[in-house]
Amino acid sequence: MAPHELATSGDVKWIGEPPHQVIERSGRPLLPTEDPFYLPPRGFEHAAPGTVLRTREVEIAFLGVIPQRFTATQLLHRSNDLNRHADAAVTTVLTPTGTDPMTPVPIVSYQCAIDAVTDRCFPSYALRRGAHALGSFAQFELLLIAAILDRGWAVSVPDHEGVDGIWGAPEEPGYRTLDGIRAALNCDRLGLSRQAPIGLWGYSGGGLATAWAAEVSADYAPDLDIVGAVLGSPVGDLGHTFRRLNGGLFAALPGLVVTALSHVYPGLERVIDEHATPQGKEFLARLEEMPTLKAIVAMAFKDMDDLVDQPLDQLLETPEVQHVFESIKLGKTVPTPPVLIIQAAHDEIISASCIDELADTYCGGGANVTYHRDLLNEHMLLHPMSAPMSLAWLGARFTGETLPSGPRRTSWPLAFKPSTYFGLLKLGWLSAKVISGRSL
């Protein structure tokens, strides 16, 4: 038996030392679907979730071009899919420099807005030097990851859609996020402490993954000390979002979700097979290969009613589609960690009313919720604008500050708060360092 393999009979545990690859500084990285690093060893399913299966050092670069001086390690680890069947996932862990080795370093799991099916948008690929991932949101979110590192915190950046890029699937993004944190703690070479407080953060598609992690954490990962989760515009109701965006500028987003979910919901796949026109099937197949921004441009103002042979409203009311919409809606479980929800009142992508409903559901179930419903901002601008608030809130959770006892719902625009601009000035300075490739 190879040292990293398991016996395949009986209830056995992982018994081997995961192999490690040193950094490779030449050549373009392989896509995940072509990279053997992503293939788990035989018998991995017998390992506990969060078990490290393989590790490697990687170079990080802004937009794949400008090399960074971060220390980055990728971990292939055991996790679970939607049906709690074993699968393997990858997280990219970045650790700060110059920290006190006697003090546990806080850990933030940052969920990128992958929002695509293609593996070019997976953070484990898009963040690497030489990655050809133009149109991936993760490449721009490196600026916020750098801001986390600058705080002296470690960062786990999971491929929360899994190796198949199943965007929109319920619960499994949470499993992969939490198992990525477990893997980081289990990896001795990273030197992270199990006594370290853990925070979660994500926006839009990343906010959705973060919300799933917060919802499933008590049942799935009670061993993790999660002290807070920031849910930025977390797409509370994907079914509502589908109807809202279809035919508009961001019509690609519901198209990408349908394409991804057809791989895990046989009923939805059957509806597509029976009712999508040849042009519709061809277009959905093309979406699977497109980075997010390219898909948005290609499908702008396209109405999916034109891609099916029946009125779309009728198809959306079929039991198969309704089952999907119901199962992918947040709010089935109340998060146990405190949560900060951030939402723009004039959001052109995510309906504020859906996030209002989600906040009410969480509060009604006894969750500790702070909800900032910004009266001025829209979807895209609110992400960087809210970064100072998000970092400050996580910092307060890490230091054990008492949660605010005042109003839990605020709406005063962040654009009118001086603290926002102090935070943005620092974020701008850090961004300039990233863009120039200088050390943080």
User: Active-site positions?
Assistant: 204, 347, 379
Token pair, residue 322, equals: 């309704």
**Could you give the 3-state DSSP secondary structure of residue 97?**
coil
Q: Which two tokens stand for residue 253?
A: 């987003």
Cβ–Cβ under 8 Å, residues 312 and 281: no
208 and 235 Cβ atoms separated by less than 8 Å = yes
Q: Which residue in this structure is represented by tokens 């705080």?
A: 151
Cβ atoms of 120 and 31 closer than 8 Å: yes
The answer to whether 17 and 52 are in contact (CB under 8 A) is: no
For the stretch 421-431, what's the b/e string if a residue is b when 16 or more beta carbons lie within 10 angstroms of its beta carbon?
eebbeebeebb
Nearest to 93 by CA among 131, 133, 127: 127
Select from 158, 287, 255 the least CA-distant residue to 212: 158
What is the SS3 assignment for 308? strand
Give residue for tokens 């893997």. Answer: 183
